[in-house]
Amino acid sequence: MGAEDGYFDKGSFLTGIDNNRIPHILVLGGINMGLITKASRMPSPGETLRGDSFYASPGGKGATQAVAASRLNSEVKMIGKVGNDIFAEILRENLKNNGVDITNIATDPNKSTGVGVIIVNSNSSQNHIIATYGANLECSKDQVEIVTNLISWADILVLQMEIPFDISIQAAMIAKEHGVTVILDPAPATKIPTSSYKHFDVITPNQTEAKLLTGITVHDKNSAKQAAKVLFKRGTPIVIIKIGEQGVYYLTKDESDFVPPFKVNAVDTTSAGDAFSGALAVCIAEKKPIKESIVFSSAAGAIAVTKLGVQDSMPYSTEIDALRNNNNL
């Protein structure tokens, strides 16, 4: 992309980060228990289909991205809500065991903990998910106040779409006022008011989300480029379109490019996007160049699909480095 396209704008919002300390990542978002079954296909209406296997895995997009960032040598604080039920303690304990600060996870006594029921196709490893968000949807001004209290600690604020969007917007505005970079993973796919894009520094939709947000069917590099331009013009400085097995297209004020995928044997694609987002937050906090950040994050997503589980599948730095070295990247 050249200057004639109007996207060259020198200067960066990625300033003020001390490279002598590890990244500080603040995550506001969903905390869910994943209940995963594998089957050869989706059942037809009224049909009971015999599954191949079942397992439970702590999840939620916010919590999983928090684990992803923590496993990549960052300090991570999680903000969110769970219910007063059997899943809540399991989810808290798993986050704690992965090095995530759980001090600011609240309990709603009147709602269930969020649950994701996931059917994974045994043949293609693609997944179908029904999410019941429960306590996540009760996030309120109390969580915004926590963001206000912690934002001076943070390098990056990571958001998704599993809590009320107005709460995320309020948190993003606070972060921007303090010069903290805001990353939005617009998942699950939900419409976003055009006026809201200016509150995010980075947005990372996949193909489904990009189509919902822009009306453009994203199926290759060229269509991803068109969708990215739409989102960029709405006011988000870095747009990253994830095209599944085809790779990643990105557009910034200074550059655009396509990053090809890492070739791996996928067994479960459930949390590839969360691994990508957690890794991206760490890379941006470390002020790595955007293309290097996306290569690293793509490797994280690729490793995640080779493992079963949600948070359990989040990779460590050594795994990412090994995959990149094997691919000379």
The CA-based angle 5-10-15, given to 5 degrees, is 140
Supply φ then ψ for residue 24, to 5 degrees. -110, 110
- Alpha-carbon Rg for the chain, nearest whole angstrom, is 19
Rounded-to-integer distance, Cα 320 and Cα 314, Å: 10
- Active-site position among 101, 155, 268, 274: 274
Residue in this structure with the two tokens 């590890």, named with its chain if needed: 22
Is residue 274 flagged as an active site residue? Answer: yes
Supply φ then ψ for residue 322, to 5 degrees. -65, -45
Strand partners of residue 25: 76, 156
Say whether the peptide bond before residue 188 is cis (omega within 30 degrees of 0).
yes
**DSSP secondary structure, 222-289, as one string:** HHHHHHHHHHHHTT-SEEEEE-GGG-EEEE-SS-EEEEPPPP---S--TTHHHHHHHHHHHHHHTT--
**DSSP secondary structure, 51-91, as one string:** -SEEEEEEE-HHHHHHHHHHTTT-EEEEEEEEESSHHHHHH
Residue in this structure with the two tokens 């949390």, named with its chain if needed: 271
DSSP reduced 3-state for 125: coil
Rounded-to-integer distance, Cα 95 and Cα 67, Å: 7
Which residues are marked as active site?
A: 274
